[in-house]
Amino acid sequence: MDSKEKIQISESEFNYAQDVIKRLSDYYDAKVVGQQQLKFSLIGAIIADGHILIESVPGLAKTTAAKAISDAVDGKFMRIQCTPDLLPGDIIGTQIFNQANGKFETILGPVFANFVLLDEVNRSSAKTQSAMLEAMQEKQVTIGGTAYHMPEDIFIVIATQNPIEQEGTYPLSEAQTDRFLIKEVITYPLAS
């Protein structure tokens, strides 16, 4: 397609898109008080099929917002609490040996959902943080030499991070931050 060529959509397609966005917005507003910029970023991530990194202090409804947007589209939601002792296999899955049949069986991890909340991603080690890179970029993970694909309809990682000045945090590498389409910094809501 020529870069100057315009993409045309019909009026009915435009109206349908507006209706879907309004329904997502209304659902979010019914579940989350405030955080309007976060709402726009989450809806934008869905539209663009991209991942979002949210930075803020704890307690500002990030988890509630992520769950609300997942529920709004009837998606499968998984929350992974990142801690220093979290291992890559805890996120993507692993193989276990079944003594009954003498074979290894693959157990898929919580990353196999439509919406994956990586809560406090910068509290986990760099090795664990990097476990998400293949999933986010290639929409698959490799366990025991076999590729397992993420859900086809929608796969969005919503990662939260605490400000780097907080104790017990590890900075995200540039290779990791490049995987996020949007970075949203949220603060305490203003009194009205």
Structure tokens at 116: 């994956």
Structure tokens at 49: 């099929």
Return the pLDDT at 126. 82
Element (H, E) at 39: helix 36-48
Mean pLDDT rounded to a whole number for the chain: 89
For residue 97, which phi and psi values (nearest 5 degrees)? -90, 125
pLDDT per position as a tens digit, 157-182: 999 988 766 666 777 878 788 899 99
Residue from 64, 39, 73 nearest 154 by CA = 73
Return the pLDDT at 192. 53
Residue from 47, 7, 4 nearest 25 by CA = 47
Calpha distance 150→92 (Å, rounded): 10
Task: Measure CA 144 to chain center.
Answer: 24
Return the pLDDT at 8. 87
* Helical segments of 76-187, H only: 88-92, 126-129, 131-138, 174-177
In three-state secondary structure terms, 14 is helix
Return the pLDDT at 38. 93
Task: Measure CA 76 to chain center.
Answer: 12
In three-state secondary structure terms, 85 is coil
More confident residue, 108 or 59: 108
Calpha distance 122→93 (Å, rounded): 20
Q: Per-residue pLDDT averaged across 130-143, rounded?
A: 88
Domains in the chain (CATH in brackets) are 48-185 (3.40.50.300)
Per-residue pLDDT for 66 more than 90?
yes
